[in-house]
A = this chain, B = another copy of it.
Amino acid sequence: MSEVTDHLVTPIAPEGWTCPAPLRDRPRVVMGHGGGGALSAELVQQIFAPAYGGEALAQMGDAAAVTLGGARLAFSTDSYVVRPLFFPGGSIGDLAVNGTVNDLAMRGARAAYLSCGFILEEGVELDVVSRVAEALGAAARTAGVEVATGDTKVVESGHGDGIYLNTAGIGLVPTGVDLRPERVVPGDVVIVSGAVGVHGVAIMSVREGLEFGVEIESDCAALGSLVEAMLAVTPDLHVLRDPTRGGLAAALNEIAQASGTGVVLQERAVPVPAAVANACAILGLDPLYVANEGKLVAFVPREHADAVLAAMRAHPLGREAAVIGEAVDTHPGMVVARTGLGGTRVVDLPIGEQLPRIC
Contact = CB atoms under 8 A, between A and B. Distances in A.
Interface of A: 23, 26-35, 40, 43-44, 47-48, 51-57, 63-64, 66, 68-73, 75-81, 112-113, 115-127, 129-130, 133-134, 136-137, 140, 146-156, 158-161, 164, 166, 168, 170-172, 356-357
Contact of A29 (B63, B121, B159): B121
B69 A70 contact: yes
Contact of A54 (B28, B48, B147, B170): B147
Contacts of A137: 51-52
Contact of A152 (B33, B76, B151): B33
B64 A112 contact: no
A122 B53 CA distance: 24
A56 B172 contact: no
Contact of A70 (B30, B71, B171): B71
A54 B148 contact: yes
Q: State the oligomeric state as a number of copies.
A: 2
A51 B130 CA distance: 8
Contacts of A161: 155, 159
Contacts of A30: 122, 154
A56 B113 contact: yes
Contacts of A79: 117-119, 151, 153, 166
Given A154-B356, A161-B155, A146 B54 contact: yes
A143 B151 CA distance: 22
A11 to B, nearest CB: 25
Nearest to A76: B149
A158 B64 CA distance: 32
Contacts of A43: 129, 152
9 contacts: A26-B126, A27-B126, A31-B122, A52-B116, A79-B166, A119-B119, A119-B164, A151-B166, A159-B161
Contacts of A357: 153, 155-156
Given A27-B126, A51-B137, A75 B40 contact: no
Contacts of A164: 119, 155, 164
A77 B150 contact: yes
Contacts of A78: 117, 151
Contact of A81 (B23, B70, B153, B170): B153
